[in-house]
Structure 1
Amino acid sequence: MRCLASTALLLLVFVSQALAQTYQPPNLAEFQTALDRANSAAVNNDIAANMPGYQGAANDLQAKSGEEVATLQRDGAVASSTNVMKPAIVQSNAYVAANPVSENAAWVKGALGVANDPTASAGGVTGTTSTTCHAQGGGTDQATIYTCESGNNVVTTSQVCQTYQDIALTSATRTCQTDSYYEAQASYANIGAFTEAHQCVIFAGPGGLNTGIGCGVMISQINAGNCAPPKQIGSTSNYLQYCKTAYTGITGITYLGRKADTCSAQRADTGCTRSSEICTSWIDEASGTCGAKTVTYTCANAGYVDNGLNVTACAAFTGNPACSLGTSTCTQHASDVPDIMAALALPADFCLKSTLTYSCDSVASTGSDCQVPGGCVLKEQNCIDPNYDGSSPCQTYDYVYACQAAVATPPSATGAICDASWVNGTAIIATADDPDNDLPQALSAINALKEASGSYGASGTLTIFGGDGLKCGKSIGGLSNCCKDSGLLLDANLTSCNADEKKLAAEQKKKACHYIGTYCSNKSLFGCLMKKMTYCCYGSVLGRIVEEAGHSQLGLSWGDAKNPQCGGFSVSQFQQIDLSNVDFSDFYDDKLAQLADNDPNSTVAAITASINSMNTSRTPEK
């Protein structure tokens, strides 16, 4: 039986490769001769009568040659497709359609090992008798994965604080700095701008004021706006005169330094009354000429002063690397306090008070959530701590275990299976074989080709078995888990999971997904908070099996957990895959397991219905 199934597989591969070659027009005479020979052989060898399962007429196997050569060439060109896989795919579909399992029910029954029937027929031809029997296996092992984590159980708390613009009322009692000159000349325009103080003497010249020395030098600059008028010191010939520029090195002028007047606002405010003063530096105490004094005013209208933003209440969070700002909401604008807005000339939307919300992480405990099932072996240990740089310990590890789950297969009628020789047409194929695998393997390969034809270009791109990159999330040490392969699936109904996570769970139930890897999707100072598990899913178990085999045979990359490469095969890549070297057991084990619960007395009908259903709808019928 293995020889027959292997022959079927090799024939499929050969036909696929042969039909995929680029069309070359034959020599017309040679073509006609070959065509005639082929038609004659079809009749003389009675191919129609000896082909297992074939019920058509012999003439249907003959190629037509009555049309003009030009017509044949034109029709052939139209039938061709730019897709070099199309002939092979059409051929495989035609094979499946022309050979329904119902015509070979007994053959299928024997090949699947559901009955000890060494004389079963294959396509209407009886096999020889064999007495070599052995006990049938009770099941197979199916590979799965289990993942879990160890590290810090990080809890996140919400912290709320307020910041505000520190605006205060100014005291009703105000103090300022001035001197006798500023007070005497207060009526002079912009007196506060003349800050360079001088003491000088007035000298007379032949024509009046001597403007080359003494006070005359500065008096000559009054009209130009560079100096203010002089003020006599008591009854002496000395004067005080303030300018915008310092005059030094001139006879009759002594530069006193820079002065300041901060009392102009209080002097101009009619609501303010001068209450006291203290002279801290005298020029001529006898005449009461003070060079620097502190003056106190009592004012009826207190003003406002802006001392800046006060963030004291939030300081513990703003400087904490374990905290991150979530929201900031303004709770008071300048327009809410019109007098402050007017006094400080603030924009209406200027924020005076804000409420800030921080998310702060802390370690509640350290440990592992691993509850590894029996029969699982550690495959990988990966650090998924985004902060890990090799200089400090990794705070979060992800563990991947390879597990074997037993899969039941249906019992045979007698508890044993026997080898047999099968007659195929005029050839006798002798075999000493375990029929548990051969025909299911062949049927699986045929269905893989059928699915390949259905998947080609289905995603909008000209690829075969294209898939989707799907991810699920699980909190580290928390109560959120949407990954069925990781720890305890806390949300069995997936109610809190997103659409992609629900789709992934459905695809995993069909065993249609290949695990790519895990990465941290949400981090904290103390390690990973949330991990993402990434898969490539292909819609069916056959799609996944062929993709895994193709990646292995062709050395293709799956990408990584953050950027999976789940695209399908190109036509040229698919042609390179050896389907006869693909393990389809994960596919046909499911088929057999579904038959296990049926009535053993109707196994032929169950097998026929189930596999025919698989060939048409790709959904096993139980």
Structure 2
Amino acid sequence: MTRLTLALALALALPCAAQAQTTADAAKADGKAFGRDIGAAAQSAATTQPSADRVPGFNGTPSQSGYFDDPKSMERAAASQVSSNTGYQTMRDSMDRRARFDKVDLDATIARSKTISQDPLSYTSGMGVSGTQGRCVPLPPTSGTAARYKATCNTGYTVESGTQSCAVTLQASVTTVTDYLYYCSRLDPDCTAFQLPTCRRTGSHPGKCLQGVDTPGGFKCFEPGDPVDEYTCSAPVAGETPIRVSTRQSVSTAKDESQCANLAADSNCTNPVETCTDSDPTTRIIDGVAVTQPCWAWRRDYQCNRFSPAQDCDTLASTPGCTLEQEYCITDEVPCRTFERVYDCPVPDQPQDPNQFICDGDVYCIDGSCETIQRQANDEFKDAVVALNAMDQARREFDPDSLTLFKGTRESCSSKVFGILNCCKGKGFPLIPGIQLLVALGCSREEMLLHQKDVQGLCAYVGTYCSSSFLGVCLTKRKVYCCFESKLSRILQEQGRLQLNKPWGKPKTEQCLGFTIDEFSRLDLSKMDFSEVYAEFTDAARLPDELQAATQIQQKIEDYYANARN
């Protein structure tokens, strides 16, 4: 031992000896005082006549004295009180609610450790006692992520609106018509003979004058006869003699709409609009007769909607690991023309962290005495960590006003059905770079934040509803999510609702309410799958910043002793 070391040892030992002597004297004094107090109490008890009344709780013969003759009865009495004893029930409930995990989950968690244990030298060889850092070996890759997400696609129809036209022409014809003129006194009951479809009243004139006189100015009638109605008929009237028979040329016109019959009968074609396409000249000779019409032909335009089958589910259907969960109509029309399919898919494996190593330089030596820095991995059991985090999360998310736990926030995003721009890609899809561009194209900032939350595993997919439609075809849909403070809260909500048979409400009305205290007490956490969060609680790798901190501590120790030698 060097002189410096001996001096240090003596300097350290002398104060400790003085301190030890002072402590011993104080302890001896305390012991004497305690002995005096106990001796006085013992002397008083020895000189006092014994009495059963002085025994606390003694009342003659206690009921427990029966156990002396039959010790087995004590066991039976205890067994009979098991069902009603509060302490026993508390212990039993705690054991029943304790998280349990399948062997496959445990194996997946310790898979990396097993890999290292099969060939430990490949990860720890090269360790020396010189105090140098040594080499670092990358840890084996993890088994991948257990996270999954809900992906949606659509099937049904698209509607295409367009204008379809047809031609309408004016057909004119000239026929020779024979007119039969009849007179009939208005008061003559025989005038009913002219009440025929082929006859029409075309005029009237006064009847023959019954009394009158000639005057220089002409004949003046004092008593005109009954008025006479004039009837023009297109055919002779039986039993009547016409006053005059004449012929004339009759022009008739009619629109020829035969080319538009199919469009007019199509219920998907509406609102016809006519545009004149032939109006020059307006007067034309038809069978030698001049016929004048403002327009002779038209183009009739219909607004028609055509339904075409469409779907965008091929990518999800062919993605490994994606399974179809359900298909439902997102519109209220019958028949339904737009369906949504929901797939349950695994989140693609993320690239491994290149900074996870195990290093062999955890040895430092001072004056020939070597010590090893003990490195222990995070060996907390995943069930304990999940339980502790669940308790902490419940404490932080408890709402004293509504007495509920794990309340979420309703958030939604919109996208065009079968459209290119989709603001609702969500977890499993990379966010298109350039938030400003997406906002300019129609996505809101809230939708971008929702995407980021969903990528972090904070949001549960509730469902989709149609926000705008045309002729039963959904044009724009809104996807609704419930977002929570943590991934653990989201998992508790998703799987807890399955246990409670409490599904999400309709997407239009779901408000993401939390669990009541009674509902939360009925949840069995041991039956829930927390594999998605295990990786966050079981990080066994030592990162380079830890290695650097250990190296700095070792250097400080060496510097301290180096300075002490000087």
Tell which structure's C-alpha radius of gyration is larger: 2
| Interval containing the TM-score (normalised by the shorter chain) | 0.3 to 0.5
TM-score normalised to structure 2 length: 0.43
TM-score normalised to structure 1 length: 0.40
Q: Point out which structure has higher relative CO (alpha carbons under 8 A, 6+ apart).
A: 1
